[in-house]
């Protein structure tokens, strides 16, 4: 730097000391004493050297200036780059902060969502447990009611069956007693009927003999009557015992014998004993009487 400065000072001094103008030299006001020839110093070795030094210094100055500008530009670019990097860094930091904030917010929201989800799940689980407990309670109550209902039904059925058994036994006893009474009544009725039948048969036989005797008593024997002859008559009586009608149902073979038998019935006219006979017995036995008329005192 010192050498450069020294050469630069020499060049400057030379510039001021030497007139490098190409214009013609002014004519002096007074005549020159001697004729002189102007020598171009730049064409001399020293001049050329100085010119080279100047050029070198100039080039160096230009280079220095260029370097200075480049350095300045580099400084400015570095500053800009630094500012840009700083800005980018701040932006990146801000973005990072924003990302972190977003992530934090997301985490917070996720935490809140999870907390809310857990709360909802917990409430849902609690509701489910409560519903299951309530369902179980209602089921148990329903089962208990059903058990009680079935127990009541069973008791009612037992009571009904017991009542039916009691009624059945009572009915059995009643039917046995009724059967006994009916048997006793039937036996008494049978005995009474048997007795009445015997009495009725005896009465029928007695009255039939009475009718036969009375008819025989008024019978007019025909000359043609012979032993063994008999005719069957059907006699219709009124409830007072009067003879209403008489007819032959089986002939003896002798018309006169048959007619004399019918005439004898009409001669009897009335059997008073029939008026005292019970109407039932009368209707059964004496409303119409079949009489076999065969006198025993006929000739051979």
Q: What is the pLDDT of residues 135-149, one digit of tens each?
A: 899 899 999 999 999
Q: What is the pLDDT of residues 188-229, one digit of tens each?
A: 888 887 887 888 788 888 888 888 888 888 888 888 888 888
Kindly report the number of other CB atoms within 10 A of residue 246's CB atom: 20
N- to C-terminal Cα distance for the chain?
A: 220
Of the candidates 216, 202, 168, 173, which has an alpha carbon nearest to the alpha carbon of residue 277? 202
Q: Decide: residue 170, CB within 10 A, 0-12 exposed, 13-18 middle, 19+ buried.
A: exposed
CA separation for the pair 219, 295 (Å, rounded): 9
Asked if 238 contacts 244 with a C-beta cutoff of 8 angstroms, the reply is yes
Residue 63 has, within 13 A of its CA and on its CB side, a CA count of: 6
CA angle (198 as vertex; 196, 199 as ends), nearest 5: 60
The residue whose two tokens read 């006979």 is: 277
What the block records as the tokens of 124 is 């849902």
Q: What is the pLDDT of residues 66-117, one digit of tens each?
A: 888 888 888 888 888 888 888 888 888 888 878 887 788 888 888 888 888 8
What the block records as the tokens of 181 is 């009474």
Segment 258-266 shows an average pLDDT of 92
pLDDT band at 158 (very low <50, low <70, confident <90, very high): very high
Mean pLDDT, all residues of the chain? 82
Quick check: helix, strand or coil at residue 248?
Answer: strand
Asked if 287 contacts 271 with a C-beta cutoff of 8 angstroms, the reply is no
Q: What is the pLDDT of residues 226-237, one digit of tens each?
A: 888 889 999 999
């Amino acid at each position: 730097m010192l050498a450069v400065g020294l050469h630069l000072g020499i060049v400057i001094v030379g510039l001021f000391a030497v007139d490098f103008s190409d214009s013609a030299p002014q004519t002096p006001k007074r005549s020159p004493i001697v004729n002189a020839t102007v020598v171009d110093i730049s064409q001399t070795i020293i001049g050329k050297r100085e010119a080279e030094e100047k050029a070198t210094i100039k080039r160096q100055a230009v280079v220095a200036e260029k370097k200075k500008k480049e350095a300045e530009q580099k400084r400015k670019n570095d500053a800009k780059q630094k500012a840009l990097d700083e800005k980018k860094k701040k932006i990146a930091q801000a973005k990072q902060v924003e990302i972190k904030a977003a992530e934090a917010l997301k985490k917070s929201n996720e935490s809140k969502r999870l907390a809310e989800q857990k709360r909802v799940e917990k409430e849902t689980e609690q509701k489910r447990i409560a519903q299951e407990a309530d369902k179980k309670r209602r089921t148990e109550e329903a089962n208990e009611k059903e058990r009680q209902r079935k127990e009541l039904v069973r008791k009612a059925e037992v009571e009904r069956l017991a009542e039916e058994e009691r009624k059945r036994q009572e009915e059995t006893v009643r039917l046995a007693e009724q059967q006994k009474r009916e048997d006793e009544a039937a036996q008494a009725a049978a005995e009474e009927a048997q007795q009445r039948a015997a009495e009725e048969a005896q009465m029928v036989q007695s009255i039939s003999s009475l009718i036969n005797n009375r008819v025989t008593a008024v019978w007019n024997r025909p000359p043609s009557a012979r032993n063994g002859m008999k005719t069957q008559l059907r006699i219709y009586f009124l409830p007072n015992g009067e003879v209403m009608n008489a007819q032959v149902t089986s002939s003896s073979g002798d018309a006169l014998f048959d007619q004399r038998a019918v005439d004898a019935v009409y001669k009897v006219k009335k059997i008073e004993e029939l008026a005292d006979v019970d109407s039932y017995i009368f209707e059964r036995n004496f409303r119409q009487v079949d009489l076999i008329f065969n006198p025993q005192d006929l000739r051979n």
